Amino acid sequence: MSGDEIMMFAVPLSVFLVSGFSAFAFARHALKGVRAGGAVLWALFTAVMVFGLANASGWDGLGYVIGLIGVSAPSAAGGLLGTLIGWVKGKKDKNEEPSRSTRSVNG
């Protein structure tokens, strides 16, 4: 594989992993404001790409399509998956009772 072919897979994969792990951490610790900010940034990026694609002519729109497929879609998928897993793990951690040992606290 050449460097271009590796980048074709590395960029979307890294975008997916970064957005997934960050969304997981924010959801697990119930940081709703940060998650909402990330969703707004994603929506703005996607809107700019769609607007640019609508106004492009000929081959000019290819960069916008690559941006939508290579950055926006993996970011959305990673963010949704990370948020769902973090939300479930966060609820599970809150609902677990502390383990009780057989030793007495008083001695």
Per-residue pLDDT 10s for the chain (107 aa) are 788 888 889 999 999 999 999 999 888 887 888 888 889 999 999 999 999 999 998 888 999 999 999 999 999 999 999 999 998 888 777 776 566 656 655 65
For the whole prediction, is pTM greater than 0.85?
Answer: no
Q: Enter the tokens of residue 85.
A: 């897993």
Q: How far is CA 41 from CA 34, 44, 58, 72, 98, in A?
A: 11, 5, 28, 10, 38
Tell me which amino acid residue 42 is. W
Tell me which amino acid residue 28 is. R
